[in-house]
Structure 1
Amino acid sequence: MSFQAYLDAVEDKTGLTPRQLVDAAAAKGFGERTKAGEILEWLQADYGIGRGHGMAIVHVIKNGAEIGTKHVGTSGTHRDESETLWLDGKATKPA
């Protein structure tokens, strides 16, 4: 599953775009210095998001939309199309 697919699955589960979750995290005071465990507890309690999918959101909260290029453009199962994740929802993702 690609990094983007994890974010898309979180949107399916919660009805919120990744950006909306990042904004909700910021409203709670979570940011780049917040421990992952604290964010994961919040995501589980408020949205029912498990650890694997939660870690994708943690990454975006702590590091922004950029990801490493290791899997970008590869043919492996963890491939991503771009090194920039789309945070504004599947419906608005450019083709």
Structure 2
Amino acid sequence: MSFQAYLKTIKEKTGLDPKDFRTKAEEKNFTQHGQLLPAVKAGEIVTWLKNDYDLGHGHAMAIYALLKGIKDENSQ
């Protein structure tokens, strides 16, 4: 599955886009000024997204990649 397909599926399932998840991560204190805090690990993000949004592991990792800066909205 392409990264864009992950984002599309996440949007369809949750109604949220990458910007929304960035805002939610900031509210949960996972990020500060748009940057993932060094102490926050992938597992914390995955658990949050699985519990709050019923995302699967791969989809949660896609959001983690966005928050970490590994990928962005234009990544393939």
TM-score by length of 1: 0.65
Query: What percentage of aligned pairs have identical amino acids?
Result: 47
How far the C-alpha of 1:26 sits from its partner, in A, is: 1.3
- Structure 1 gap ranges (5+): 67-83, 86-95
* Alignment-derived partner of residue 28 in structure 1: 28
**CA–CA separation in structure 2 for the residues paired with 1:4 and 1:27:** 25
Question: Which has more strand, going by share of residues?
Answer: 2
- Structure 2 gap ranges (5+): none
**CA–CA separation in structure 1 for the residues paired with 2:8 and 2:26:** 20
TM alignment of 1:1-95, pairs within 5 A: 1-31=1-31, 32=36, 33=38, 34-63=40-69, 65=72, 84-85=74-75
How many residues align? The count is 68
* Alignment-derived partner of residue 74 in structure 1: none
Q: Which has the greater radius of gyration? A: 1
Moved over 4 A (4+): none
Q: CA RMSD in A?
A: 1.5
Question: Which has more helix, going by share of residues?
Answer: 2
Counterpart of 2:56 in structure 1: which amino acid? G
How far the C-alpha of 1:57 sits from its partner, in A, is: 0.3
**CA–CA separation in structure 1 for the residues paired with 2:41 and 2:12:** 25
**CA–CA separation in structure 2 for the residues paired with 1:26 and 1:62:** 13
Once the two structures are superposed, residues 38-70 of structure 1 have per-residue CA deviations (whole angstroms, 9 ceiling, x without a partner) of: 00000011000110111000000111617xxxx
8 A contact 1:22–1:61 mirrored in 2: yes
8 A contact 1:40–1:54 mirrored in 2: yes
